[in-house]
Structure 1
Amino acid sequence: MTERARPNGVADHLLLANTPWAVGARLLLLALASLVLVYGRDPALHSGFHAGLLWRNALPVFLLLLLLYGFSGRTLLSILLGTGVTWLVFSVNAIKELNMGEPLMPGDLVLVHQVLHNIGFFAHYTGHRRVLLLLAMLVFAGLLWLVWKLEKRWFRLRWMPRLGLVALSLVMLITLHRGNGFWQEAYANEGLVGYQPWAPLEAVEKVGFMAGLVRMTQDYQITLPKADKALVAHFAESHADDVQARMERKLPAELPDIVVVQSEAFFDPGVLKGVNFGEFTPNFERLAATGITGSLTTPTYGGGTIRTEFETLTGYPMQAFQSVVYPYYGLVRPWMPSVPRRLQAFGYSTTLFHPFLGSFWNRDQVMPQLGFEHLHFVQDFGDAQHAGAYVSDHALFDYVLAHLDANSHQPQYAMVITMENHGPWNNDPGALARVLDGHPLPSGLSPAGTGELTYYLSHLVNGDQALGDFAKQLLARPHWTVLVFYGDHLPALPHAFSDLGFDDGKGDTEEHTRYLLVSNRPLVPRHADLSSYDLPGLLFDVTGLPEDGYLALASTIRQAWAQDHYEHGPHFGQIQFNAAILEVNCGHKLSKTGKCKRHLLPVADSISSHAH
């Protein structure tokens, strides 16, 4: 070929690249790559050949590859980049399933910036260090650059067909996400046999991760459900005297200091086979025997702390808002009559103590909206003693005691969120393992299970000792003081839990944490199994503080439920969920008749005027 003939040869190649056969071959290659990717990464597709499930799982990946091909015009580059993105998504999903007992869900997208800004923290869960992750990213980037340079330019489509592919893939991705037209029918129950929206982990194990994620994005389009107003109003009217009595309570002559401790991953391992109750938490059991205690049902497992946190601060059940995964992103509003906001209106100073980054879970932005005047995050703890990676519970509690003593001129509300026993729990506890002397681990543990339980129990025993010391000093104060202590969720100990099993035969995500409420004033000990959203009502009942809005209704519902001997739980649960939905949709606390009346005073002003 002469130099003059070469341009014509290039033109022939370009013509070949844009023939329908050539384009069709490349699209077929993208489709095959997407099928291989999801089949290779998703064990849910290995139990048998299900063509319907396979294409429903492969479709989102194919549309991603198609979009990349439209932008780049390079087939191999699109497949390589799409493979990297798909591998990353499946890997993150596997980590979340292992540590939290649930798959990636649409609401997790709000946490992308959290992961990027706290990559060191999340890197612990991958089993790799930041340097290795950075090295892997650099190698992959280098590979992408190499393919970009080597893939021949004459195989690229002209810009018009590429623009059409970009438009087509974007339209299909958007309509797939929204569940428009055919897509809603394609991912309905008939096509995804076994899909259960209330059990996302079991759902993706049956229908595949990608298909389950598509279905969840379609289901999550409704942000807030509508409330059954008649159901709430009927209950309020039939229990008008009880609701009125709660609203008309007089403030106690002496307002108690209130300390609420949310203990990271606290639960009693006595629910495990071969472990006795209280064996590793003797101080908790001793305190619990003097007050109100029981099991605590929380809305998360292994992580997602803010779900439990939100329930205990507002009384709103997360289960009422199925489309909301992380309440600190989009659900919290400044008007919400939270516990600290109500107490602030009574004259309390409200303070949050959390020895970790304020930006984590968006707490530095959200907590002031929920009524906290003072925030103490990790930078305020200076060189406080650590137990493992985080500030120890001993150091945290000492810091809280010093704060209470320095601010005794007004009633105090302190929310304390611990960090010592935060996961991952497959690390070496180091010298802290000495606290397990005299506490032998149960038999039947694998090496992995032994490692998990040793790390967790070392911090649990250390934290239980810190609780005992803290409660002794806190309740010895002459001022009336109330202490609430609870676990936010079970730890993710997959190997240990699998090795031992639970006494009741249930799975790890079905087990409960524990709580206690004690005081240095006379308190009749009793047992009551609760959900974390019941704790605000319990606190106001014990202290005799007036309630209003949803909180008064929720406490009345709980009382009626108990008087019914818990025989009609689902009915009372629906009333409470609908009351929460109604108040959140209203954007204002409910009236005593269970109705939305926006012309009422703002919550703080209303409570203040009532108190005075």
Structure 2
Amino acid sequence: MKDIYKKIAYRIVQILVVILIAAVAYFYLQLAITGHLDRDYLAMYNEIISNPIATAINVLMLMVFVITLIALIGDYWWGIAGSISLFAIMIFVDYQKIVSRSEPLLPSDLIMAKQVGGLIQMVNWLSIVELILFIALMLAAAYFLRKFTKKMWLTKHRIIWPLRVVVAIVGIWAFVFFFQCGNTNSLAYKQLTDLEIYNDNHNPLNVYRSDGTVIGFAFNVRSDPMKRPNGYSEKAIAKIANRYRIADAEKANIGKQPANIIYILNESLTNPRTTSDQYPLQEDSPLSYIDNILQNPQANQASGYMVSPEYGGGTANIEFEANTGFSNYFLKSIPYQDILPKKAYFPSVMHYLENYGYHSDAYHPFAGAMYQRPQAYQALGIHQFKDQKRLKGLQKSKFGEYYTDSSTYPNIYPQQKKAKQLSLVITMQNHMPYITNVGSQSDYQLEDPIKNNTDKTNKMQTYLQELHQSDQAFSKLVDHFKNSDQKTLIVMYGDHYPGDGLYDDLASDILTVHATPFVMVANFPLSNHQYGYFSPNYMSLLMLQQLGYPLTPFYNLLDQLHQQVPVLTKAIQMDDSGNQYTNSHYKKPKWQKSQAYRDYQMVEYDMTYGKGYANKYHMFTVSK
């Protein structure tokens, strides 16, 4: 009789352990998306219980996950250890993404698992070791608990097969059903909205924080990658193509056609002068050369600030906009991974310039497979891609983990021997993580420690030193082409602010932490010298206008949109009067009602997830 009571008590303990693990996992998942795992626990507890319905759903789904994994593995303690390990990995990734990019773990990130080798280089190795040790500890605990509770097991030390099958099927079905909630036509979506739990397509982090990580993740599993615009059809696209087809090619001033166009995305490039109030330096700006262009462009220079759609990461998304003219504002995907690999052709500035005799190559001193660049570049019309394995003379500085700009740029010098080259360069020098123990050796010291945080201060000083080296490398690149017999235009912009928690104190100043330097330098006079603020989807348009190239119907459409809303990103939008809009603004601004905005949205849908009618109606070729 005592054995029966012991087994009943053991089953109750097993159930309580599952509930406890789900509740603790949810608590730490919510902590992770604040970017502070050591945050006031009581404050987090109060925040969680303030939304009891959402909390109950999150914890319930985590319990279902644990029970399903136990059923699939066929052993209680191995299932518990596996669940805790997976939850720990989720918490770790969520925390790392929030610190580096202010963005939670999304379903689309799972595609990046194939590129884990490159991703690991971007995370502090000590954190990874700690995670591995924790998982090893969980597995060891499971091993000993199995031995300790052996007398309590069911027949043949396993859960009975029929029960396992039923539990696994029910659990999998529950997740399949729940993960439909991103589809606005699904029953799961309707049930959540009945409970006043809503999705926010433009800011998933808001949902993760207010309604829980599990619900936030589920909303993004089956959500439409881009909403189909009302009235989308072949006839509608044909009308748009005709609307922006202007027969003015013969009037275009293309006498300035350069033989070399160098198009540089400079990793995590910022201008410390714009944040000097919060982070004053003892010395002058580490960005002395680029800053001079930003403040006072000369006859052969132009400058402005590119407002990035990302923060701390997402380089390929900025690159997509700069190369194609399309915006991530409408998309819930990573185009380089989700769209371009499926396309044999995708409109780009490379394809446009190919019509004028240009040959396009790409250079990136890192793992070439990241973001599926080889497939994406092929669709964009890039003929040759050289990653770190094919680039020559690459070197690292003592302040960084990645190859320097100064050792990357010489790889494009041989292009001078060829006619009409576009060189796309994606640098890596300024990429996180930033080495703490060399920060004190930086030539650029902060006047005061950041909130008495020595590690963060040293990271910032390391970053500033890397910026200086990047600035000097760019200056040498310009000097190299200054006296070239071939006309050369160099376009360079920063993709986003650095991650690794450097500027998290400025998170509320959205424009500041999304605006990065943009400069043009040529060895001939330029016509436009000031660009103000703009988002990267206008980058190729501005470059072609600077060179006097005729515009395609698509670029004419983009030009009209630029005049109405020069900044179009999910984080922030800015209209022609300088008014700023964020996702906290629910009133529809006038530019969202404009013809150009509606046409742009429809053309983007057509070329990304639609039928591609715009190409059929010559939206991307010059009218003659």
Preserved CA contact (<8 Å) 1:293 1:514? yes
Query: What is the deviation of 1:518?
Result: 2.7
Note if contact 2:439-2:460 (Cα within 8 Å) is conserved in structure 1.
no
1:42 is aligned to 2:66:
no
2:337 is paired with a residue whose SS is coil
How far, CA to CA, are the matches of 1:189 and 1:487 in structure 2? 43
1:397-432 Cα distance to aligned partner (Å, 9 max, x none):
2222x2223x33x1010011111111012533469x
Percent of residue pairs identical? 19
Contact 2:396 2:404 in 1 (8 A): yes
What residue in structure 1 maps to residue 597 of structure 2? 574
For residue 382 of structure 1, report the CA deviation from its aligned partner: 4.2
Superposed CA offset, 1:481-518 (max 9, x none) = 111110000012535542xx58xx61588531121223
The aligned counterpart of 2:570 is none
Match of 1:521 among 521, 524, 527: 524
2:19 to 31, 42, 47: 31
* Equivalent AA in structure 2 for residue 574 of structure 1: Y
Residue matched to 1:588? 612
Are 1:74 and 2:75 an aligned pair?
A: yes
Task: Give the drift of 1:570.
Answer: 3.7
TM-score, normalising length from structure 1?
0.82
- Check 1:251–1:411 CA distance in 2 against 1; reply closer, same or farther (3 A cut): farther
Structure 2, unaligned stretches of length 5 or more?
A: 32-43, 567-574, 580-589
1:234, distance to aligned residue in structure 2 (A): 9.2
Who is 1:424 aligned against? Answer: 433
Partner residue in 2 for 1:371: 381
How much does 1:585 deviate?
A: 3.7
* Higher-Rg member (1/2): 1
Equivalent position amino acid for 1:154 in 2: L
Residues 537-582 of structure 1: per-residue CA shift (max 9 Å, x gap): 1111111223325333212332466896568444457333333223
* Partner of residue 319 from structure 1, selected from 313, 316, 329: 329
Q: Which amino acid aligns with 2:467?
A: L
Opposite residue 580 of structure 1, the aligned amino acid is E
Distance 1:48 1:112, change over 3 A: closer
**Are 1:304 and 2:314 counterparts?**
yes
Q: How does 1:80-91 map to 2 (within 5 A)?
A: 80-91=81-92
- The 2-side partners of 1:302 and 1:487 are apart by 11
2:261 corresponds in structure 1 to 258
1:398 pairs with 410, 435, 445, which one? 410
Using the size of structure 2 for normalisation, the TM-score is: 0.81
1:461 aligns to 2:461 (yes or no): no
CA shift in 2, pair 1:335/1:78, >3 Å: same
5 Å-filtered alignment, 1:147-546, equals 147-148=145-146, 150-152=148-150, 153-154=153-154, 156-179=158-181, 183-188=188-193, 190-192=195-197, 196-217=200-221, 220-229=222-231, 243-245=245-247, 252-253=254-255, 255-256=257-258, 257-272=260-275, 273-274=277-278, 275=280, 279-288=285-294, 289-290=297-298, 291-321=301-331, 323-324=332-333, 326-332=334-340, 333-387=343-397, 388-400=400-412, 402-405=413-416, 407-408=417-418, 410-429=419-438, 433-436=441-444, 440-441=446-447, 445-446=451-452, 447-492=454-499, 494=501, 497-498=504-505, 501=506, 506-507=509-510, 510-524=513-527, 525-546=529-550
Say whether the 8 Å CA contact 1:236–1:553 is kept in structure 2.
no
Partner SS for 1:379: coil
Aligned counterparts of 1:448 and 1:312: Cα–Cα separation in 2: 35
SS of corresponding position for 2:179: helix
Larger deviation, residues 390-399 vs 221-230: 221-230
1:329 to partner: Cα distance: 1.3
- SS of the counterpart of 1:42? helix
Residue in 2 that maps onto 1:121: 121
- Give me the whole-angstrom Cα distance separating, in 2, the residues matched to 1:238 and 1:339: 20
Give distance in 2, aligned partners of 1:226 and 1:41.
Answer: 33
Q: Distance in 1 between matches of 2:57 and 2:512?
A: 28
CA distance in 1, matches of 2:265, 2:194: 39
Instruction: Determine helix, strand or coil for the equivalent of 2:226.
Output: coil
Q: How many residues align?
A: 569
Mean CA deviation greater in 45-54 or 510-519: 45-54
How big is the shift at 1:381?
3.0
Question: Unaligned regions of 5+ residues in structure 1, if any?
Answer: 1-8, 591-596
Structure 2 CA distance, aligned partners of 1:172 and 1:99? 33
Contact 2:312 2:499 in 1 (8 A): yes
| Alpha-carbon spacing, 1:364–1:138, altered in 2? closer, same or farther (3 Å) | farther
Q: For the Cα contact (< 8 Å) 1:52–1:191, is it kept in 2?
A: no
